[in-house]
Structure 1
Amino acid sequence: MKNVFLVFVLVNIVSNTHAQVVDSIPRKVRAIVADKFPITRVLNLTYEANTGYHYSSKYLGQEMPKTKIEAMNQIGASVNINFLKNRTWTLGTNIGYQHTSITAIHPTMATMEVEKSMHNYHYHYESLNLTRYATLWGKMAIYTASIATNGSEKAIERVNGILSANVVLKATREIQMTVGLLGFIDPSAIIPVIPTFAYKQQFHSGWMLDLIMPKGAYLRKEVLRNGRVSLGSDLNSTLFYLYNFDGSDKVFTFSQMEINSGLTYEHNLGRSFIATIRSGLKTIPRARIFEKNKAQSDYVWEASPDPSVYVNLGLSFNPFAKRRK
């Protein structure tokens, strides 16, 4: 859960499991279960803007002057492609980029005079993912192994591995349920192994409960002709690398965990394009800076930001999305 890539991989693994759930359901109900708004899409473009907020922080245990983030904007793009596939395995890749722009107002340490500064950070991630489909205790099982890299515009800064196993417990027209484990081969992982749980239930009222834990939880309902509204919360993060942070040649990692709560509206534009707008309250339980090869618990800087309002706009391309006639 520590960075953009790991959160993306968690969603990708669980959503791929849901895709295989569809294949385990009789053909006569597949069209009903198939999601017009799948979680994982081939191409995603996003823009997010956050309102200003304050945060208090500590550097090496020492209280720092309170700082105001006047604006924080992010532009992101990701590609998710399976390029080799048969009935028992799939080989694919995830590639993504995120640009973060921050305008901060803070007092200087020497004179305590207020100054404004602007910062731009580039972050990219790549992975090669192998998925194996099998049976376990008479249930469909999905095993995934990934090797991943991420870094900045200067270099690839980290290589890690991710392993997962998911078992489909139920697959009907109304209910799809899976459980599993997700493991990180990475010294900076907060928790090396975490359980995962995905549950989707369609109610007669038209509402749908969609849980992907620990990623998030939503209540969803299709509206208008090709739209869907969702209410809930999900876990996200912002990550980038810092150079010359303490005047040395060390490379540091900035990692910020975020909980986005609010309303989302998606609209199928036809020709496999989906537009998304979401807005609500962003809370940040933790923001830390630590040396890139050390654990997050061995941080040198930690902040406690105030909540802020966010607006996120997105456009995605997915050739498998269904459009209602």
Structure 2
Amino acid sequence: MRNFVIIRRMLLGLSTSLSILVHAQTKDSLVTHKLPSYPLIRPFMMQYERINNAEYTQRDRNKNIIGEGQAQTTRFRTFASMPVYQKEKIVISTNVLYTHESISNYTKTQVSGPLTKSTIQINDVDLTLSGVYRGILWKRPVIHTANIIVSSPNLIHVKKVSAMASSSMIFVKGVQTRYSLGLLFVLDPVIAIPVIPMFTYWHRFDNPLWELDVVLPQKIMLRRSDFLNGWLSIGTELYGNSFFTPESTQLPGNYEYRYADLFSGVGYERMLGKLIVGVRTGFRSTVQGRMLKVYNRNKDYVFDTKNKTVPYFNLHISWAVPYLFKPKALKK
């Protein structure tokens, strides 16, 4: 993907379909093999995230500096998914993602002047209608998905509507390896390439406590089970996010700020009944951050922001289930 921007609307639609994909192939080809112990399907999730002061520089499209300072971000997210229709190979579900961000900016009005603090509070809601169809192609399982995403800051004023679809073919190699190849189709002008390759890979090593979990273009994770009665993970994840900006005299119209971050570090998760509690820490590196008008192309931005790499902390809790939909949804 040339512009390296993977926004949260894409990841939200992929989360459910990738989980169903993994369980579908396991149900078909590894009937006698125990499912991976790590809980993949989480229909409800809450997380708190804090990103320490990050120095930033903002430049316009002519590369002129228009702002410098530091930013500290705290973010709260909650996600829920619920199936609404199921018949044979077709499943339809609804998803909601709510995000609240508090961003404190420390800027200088003069080169030698003191830092001035300003804080903005952001609320954002994404509603997604997702459809999953499971079929057979060349005697191999295939998963097709379609998603319509409606985005709003308050559930009343819709700011953006986008769509996404994907197709993935599943391959199984013994009881220790499985992978899928597919294509993601995105209907959003900000994406420079509307068709994006998708690849998932899961492998359990000869030492069964270790496994490799890859979902491109989202994450590469090495995981160890039975670590302090939980799971230790080491790796990197790519997250996209965006928020709508209030209309002003400087920016009249419908604008949003988009950014893509790499979160690298270590994490620990543990089951408490049906709940998973986890922490993760490491470093955040911003790949790209841009302000642009909604429905504009990524290159037609107002300004671009460069951030320095800084530490982050993430605390999350989720509800884990063996499958999101009834088992009949996984039958051929």
Q: TM-score, normalised by structure 1?
A: 0.91
The 1:2/1:28 distance shift into structure 2, 3 A limit, reads: closer
Match of 2:236 among 233, 258, 264: 233
Equivalent in the alignment of 2:301:
299
Q: Is the 8 A contact 1:237 1:256 kept in 2?
A: yes
Q: Is the 8 A contact 1:44 1:79 kept in 2?
A: yes
User: Which secondary structure state, in structure 1, belongs to the residue aligned with residue 32 of structure 2?
Assistant: helix
The 1:257/1:246 distance shift into structure 2, 3 A limit, reads: farther
User: Which secondary structure state, in structure 1, belongs to the residue aligned with residue 301 of structure 2?
Assistant: coil
User: Which secondary structure state, in structure 1, belongs to the residue aligned with residue 296 of structure 2?
Assistant: coil
Equivalent in the alignment of 1:36:
38
User: Which secondary structure state, in structure 2, belongs to the residue aligned with residue 64 of structure 1?
Assistant: strand
Whether 1:12 aligns to 2:13 is no
1:138-176 deviation digits (Å, cap 9, x = unpaired): 110011111111121262111111110000022642111
Equivalent in the alignment of 1:57:
58
Q: Is the 8 A contact 2:45 2:319 kept in 1?
A: yes
1:43-97 deviation digits (Å, cap 9, x = unpaired): 000000111110111134321242111x210000000222322431111111110
Unaligned runs of 5+ in 1: none
Give the 5 Å matches for 1:259-298.
259-270=262-273, 272-298=274-300
C-alpha separation in 1, matches of 2:145 and 2:226: 35
C-alpha separation in 2, matches of 1:76 and 1:278: 15
Whether 1:25 aligns to 2:4 is no
User: Which secondary structure state, in structure 1, belongs to the residue aligned with residue 9 of structure 2?
Assistant: helix
The 1:284/1:246 distance shift into structure 2, 3 A limit, reads: farther
Whether 1:214 aligns to 2:224 is no
Equivalent in the alignment of 1:193:
195
The 1:162/1:211 distance shift into structure 2, 3 A limit, reads: same
Equivalent in the alignment of 1:174:
176
**RMSD over aligned Cα, in angstroms?**
2.0
TM superposition shift of 1:276 = 1.0
Whether 1:251 aligns to 2:236 is no
Number of aligned residue pairs: give it. 316
TM superposition shift of 1:216 = 0.8
C-alpha separation in 2, matches of 1:126 and 1:278: 27
The 1:143/1:75 distance shift into structure 2, 3 A limit, reads: same
Q: Is the 8 A contact 1:11 1:212 kept in 2?
A: no
C-alpha separation in 2, matches of 1:225 and 1:105: 40
TM superposition shift of 1:320 = 2.3
Give the 5 Å matches for 1:158-173.
158-170=160-172, 172-173=174-175
Identical pairs, percent: 21
Q: Is the 8 A contact 1:22 1:34 kept in 2?
A: no
One-letter amino acid of the counterpart of residue 19, structure 2:
S
Equivalent in the alignment of 2:327:
none
C-alpha separation in 2, matches of 1:246 and 1:285: 29
Q: Is the 8 A contact 2:56 2:69 kept in 1?
A: yes
C-alpha separation in 1, matches of 2:169 and 2:322: 24
Q: Is the 8 A contact 2:77 2:99 kept in 1?
A: yes
Q: Which moved more, 1:248-257 or 1:174-183?
A: 248-257
C-alpha separation in 2, matches of 1:35 and 1:290: 43
1:24-50 deviation digits (Å, cap 9, x = unpaired): 124321xx1244321x41100000011
The 1:313/1:299 distance shift into structure 2, 3 A limit, reads: same
1:223-250 deviation digits (Å, cap 9, x = unpaired): 2464111100010022100123553431
Give the 5 Å matches for 1:77-88.
77-88=78-89
The 1:239/1:105 distance shift into structure 2, 3 A limit, reads: same
Q: Is the 8 A contact 1:24 1:171 kept in 2?
A: no
Equivalent in the alignment of 2:317:
315
C-alpha separation in 1, matches of 2:121 and 2:200: 36
User: Which secondary structure state, in structure 2, belongs to the residue aligned with residue 283 of structure 1?
Assistant: strand
One-letter amino acid of the counterpart of residue 216, structure 2:
M
1:103-126 deviation digits (Å, cap 9, x = unpaired): 111123799663110011111101
